[in-house]
Structure 1
């Protein structure tokens, strides 16, 4: 009995990392049991850089004495709250979180998946939104089911992360530098946590998906990234690059009583961070003639350093990186529902004038001719008397195409055409919104809205089962299987988890994609996603993309 007791104690001991030595010092997280001979070490709040200087690149952390208790999420980076009337978070925010699953023995050489959160470059945190202690970006389900290490981290957003004067005085992209620094830290330290530094996948959604894309095409990440997944956002999206950052910087400067001449950058650097953050508020109310997407002015810039050129000219840097990119089938609903509120009304029709006005805004560089051509393209299947639903869904399609789908297809084309060893995969997520037809403002015809995919990637149907149906667990299982197989092998079909149907590669000739929902089967493989509309925006109105 004594021998058996010692044996059990040894097994328990082997199933936790205990104290881990990082470049900054020792860290100790929390160990939880998941089942028979299955445990997980969770580390929260490990610093990957020092408190950043205002409008400066991140600096190495000086380290600490003793053992750091890494059991609580660090604060989000300083940012505006949802209604933009106050701030939350801290400048001391460059921390990361790690989930490490173990089986019979402590894990070793596991694939690593590094998450970049979204939020329009304006808001968000490493842990995501939460209800009580249920955090959206909790990596436990992905790590456990996929047998991978999951890392999430914070980066600067809003004014402190992306304000730029358009010159060397205040070049911007500080949030992108934070992302890069976190990825580099993982590369240097993850082996001590049982991870493989030579098998790192970065994945993210919305602005985080664009962040993933920016990290793959920046020359500063050479050799740090093996695979990448962009969900509803790439560097080609029209909101992903600000080509006139100085205009907004001057607006911020005036709000905080700084000059707008050559003294502006120095003054901004000395200004109170809360005042700077408050001054970065944006007009997030839209209309058909002034779409909300044009108001997202705090975004990355072509700084000549992290981004030395236009994004479409940098895809050669991703030639050896395996890449998945895709969108939700009604990604644009979140935006067009604000620009054209009648879309969500069961009582009010969406008018032809609203459709024309929205298209005129998106095609503004081409003038009336472009708007007319766009209108004829999107209404060609209407017939003489389109139904109320048809008109409303067309508005959502227009927003989805312009803001997400076409730029993502463009990024896939660019990746596939420049790839050497890197493989390319395309997806469309189409699981209907869970609130569609239940409560307003979600119409019964709703597909997958922007961010609807997040709950499935992070396994919420398993962690909060009472809020979902069995079909939702199917969707979550499929996505975790494809995503973690890809992280392990570069092929979403090959790994430890079975998938419902083989996902073919996207090539410069085939343009194939997988439609992901609870119905995913052999009929879910398509090709040339919305080709007519992709062709319209990229060929006939190619100057419109990336012109915001």
Structure 2
């Protein structure tokens, strides 16, 4: 080999060596040194992954967690930790541990180690009953892996564990059991990120929260609490807000007593009840908080009794009165176009039975259940609104779709639009954006008219069409690319259209002059920007329904 060849080889070796060196190695955090794993993504592209960094000590039962005492030596953070103790999906057993307050970090690098990157902190959903920071796992392919987001959007992704179910959200409604332990966990994770992320190459002053379902409502709670003032710059709520009817427990003591009775604890005073619950087997407590216990003769949403509460501290007032705390936070809030289908399938199973008609009286019965606090008058006015376009002989499909539209509007869309409006109203620089996600469901046994069911956006946000390409069509990779681009641009600049990633069309802000939103699907063009989303229905739930007098509310019927 000639001298020129030798120079080229040496230069190449230096380049490769430099690229290989683009890793953080051991990182000093407030608790001690941590070391994750480094993964090569391509030429001059690497990623560091840290799994299972403790951000708080193992919490006392029904107590706010305390800071982690730290460790000596080097902590290897190469494996996901267990979820917080929770029921399994069959609700017949439990999984997870009380020692669960850990987070995971994904950091992208180019030829050199990254610095000053935006940070996106993910809060998972699961009805405040289940869930974990890594998500479901199929062949070591975790749903909430940040890998695709970080390499495509050049951001850091963090996912945080928090307590769920009985141990995360049981409350007596007073100081003996104030509740919101899961929300405190989330806050502690966010605060840890703010204090430590600079050592991982992140910008502590540019943290974006994002989450879905209960995690989406949690994102909203976290920007409304005064405890996060100055910690969070931007937020994205996907299918859920603090105003959602399932996101706030109105009668927490009722549910606490149900659980206490189930495990044999006294209910005469909240002090004696909590004293007993604190020394009860945690597995028994967790099982007592499953949905089977609450086999209520009402819409399933009213069985979700373990949820955040207005505790006078973390949430000093009703969330609708706390939007001033998010005045400087940029906020995206949206829903899937058939988010309510999941609930509709439980409430009226015939919705998913192709040959079985859904009687109109089932829709009326559902409305009576959903609007019970306003009485019969609300059921009648709601029914008139939702059936006004039916004509004399509505088809089976029309009735079924109406049921899904009702559940979507009531449980997701109307509260999200209300939160969007309140964020805009109280804004002092924080921008507001609205969207609807409408990629048709890929679940084969669903009706042919199905749109995007609850949680179906997650696979695209986390880039699964790229991770498992054989399971998707090219159009699914398109929408995944669009979502990651909008979300990460927003994390960089506060504007989903402006950043390092190309988008198919500009997404205008939601303003007092124009209530515009973006419809996100596989073909996004300028015509995907629309206005006044389901305006007559939003006006009804936001104004007419709210103005109806409240009748005396009764606890759920067991």
1:405-484 equivalence runs, <5 A:
405-435=413-443, 438=444, 440=445, 442-484=446-488
Equivalent residue for 1:399?
A: 407
Quote the Cα distance in structure 1 between the aligned partners of 2:549 and 2:253: 21
Unaligned ranges ≥5, structure 1: none
Is the contact made by 2:65 and 2:185 (CA closer than 8 Å) also made in structure 1? yes
Q: C-alpha displacement at 1:13, in angstroms? A: 4.8
Structure 1 residues 458-491: Cα deviation after superposition (integer angstroms, max 9, x where no partner)? 0000000000000000000000000000000000
Quote the Cα distance in structure 2 between the aligned partners of 1:249 and 1:152: 29
Once structures 1 and 2 are overlaid, which stretch shifts more, 265-274 or 299-308?
265-274
Quote the Cα distance in structure 2 between the aligned partners of 1:67 and 1:494: 40
1:128 to 127, 135, 142: 135
Closer, same or farther in 2 for the Cα pair 1:50/1:251, shift >3 Å?
same
1:379-394 equivalence runs, <5 A:
379-394=387-402
Quote the Cα distance in structure 1 between the aligned partners of 2:324 and 2:36: 39
Is the contact made by 2:210 and 2:219 (CA closer than 8 Å) also made in structure 1? yes
Quote the Cα distance in structure 2 between the aligned partners of 1:117 and 1:6: 43
Structure 1 residues 250-288: Cα deviation after superposition (integer angstroms, max 9, x where no partner)? 11111111111231111111111111111111238989x
Equivalent residue for 1:499?
A: 503
Quote the Cα distance in structure 2 between the aligned partners of 1:479 and 1:135: 19
1:63 to 70, 73, 80: 70
Equivalent residue for 2:335?
A: 327
1:163-202 equivalence runs, <5 A:
163-202=170-209
1:78 to 65, 80, 85: 85
Quote the Cα distance in structure 2 between the aligned partners of 1:183 and 1:73: 18
Equivalent residue for 1:114?
A: 121
Closer, same or farther in 2 for the Cα pair 1:495/1:284, shift >3 Å?
farther
Structure 1 residues 153-192: Cα deviation after superposition (integer angstroms, max 9, x where no partner)? 1000000000001100110000000000000000000000
2:497 is aligned with 1:488: no
Q: How many residues align?
A: 543
Quote the Cα distance in structure 1 between the aligned partners of 2:339 and 2:324: 28
Closer, same or farther in 2 for the Cα pair 1:484/1:5, shift >3 Å?
closer
TM-score, normalised to structure 2, is 0.95
Closer, same or farther in 2 for the Cα pair 1:65/1:544, shift >3 Å?
farther
Is the contact made by 1:363 and 1:544 (CA closer than 8 Å) also made in structure 2? no
Equivalent residue for 1:97?
A: 104
Structure 1 residues 50-69: Cα deviation after superposition (integer angstroms, max 9, x where no partner)? 11111111111111111111
Q: C-alpha displacement at 1:14, in angstroms? A: 3.3
Equivalent residue for 1:532?
A: 536
Q: C-alpha displacement at 1:6, in angstroms? A: 6.5
Which 4+ residue blocks in structure 1 deviate beyond 2 angstroms? 1-10, 283-287, 543-548
Quote the Cα distance in structure 1 between the aligned partners of 2:250 and 2:242: 13
Once structures 1 and 2 are overlaid, which stretch shifts more, 355-364 or 461-470?
355-364
Q: C-alpha displacement at 1:448, in angstroms? A: 0.2
Quote the Cα distance in structure 2 between the aligned partners of 1:183 and 1:109: 17
Q: C-alpha displacement at 1:243, in angstroms? A: 1.4
Equivalent residue for 1:363?
A: 371
Structure 1 residues 173-231: Cα deviation after superposition (integer angstroms, max 9, x where no partner)? 00000000000000000000000001000000000000000000000001000000000
2:210 to 193, 203, 209: 203
TM-score, normalised to structure 1, is 0.97
Quote the Cα distance in structure 1 between the aligned partners of 2:261 and 2:282: 15
Is the contact made by 2:91 and 2:292 (CA closer than 8 Å) also made in structure 1? no
Is the contact made by 2:263 and 2:288 (CA closer than 8 Å) also made in structure 1? yes
Look up the SS of the partner of 2:207 in the other structure.
strand
2:59 to 32, 52, 58: 52
Quote the Cα distance in structure 1 between the aligned partners of 2:235 and 2:172: 30
Q: C-alpha displacement at 1:3, in angstroms? A: 5.2
2:275 to 253, 257, 266: 266
Q: C-alpha displacement at 1:543, in angstroms? A: 6.6
Closer, same or farther in 2 for the Cα pair 1:204/1:412, shift >3 Å?
same
Is the contact made by 2:64 and 2:185 (CA closer than 8 Å) also made in structure 1? yes
Quote the Cα distance in structure 2 between the aligned partners of 1:52 and 1:489: 36
Quote the Cα distance in structure 1 between the aligned partners of 2:115 and 2:333: 29
Equivalent residue for 2:239?
A: 232
Q: C-alpha displacement at 1:510, in angstroms? A: 1.4
Quote the Cα distance in structure 1 between the aligned partners of 2:204 and 2:190: 10
Look up the SS of the partner of 2:332 in the other structure.
strand
1:311-350 equivalence runs, <5 A:
311-350=319-358
Quote the Cα distance in structure 2 between the aligned partners of 1:40 and 1:545: 57
Closer, same or farther in 2 for the Cα pair 1:67/1:451, shift >3 Å?
same
1:213 to 215, 220, 243: 220
Look up the SS of the partner of 1:479 in the other structure.
helix
Look up the SS of the partner of 2:343 in the other structure.
helix
Look up the SS of the partner of 1:415 in the other structure.
helix
Closer, same or farther in 2 for the Cα pair 1:285/1:332, shift >3 Å?
farther
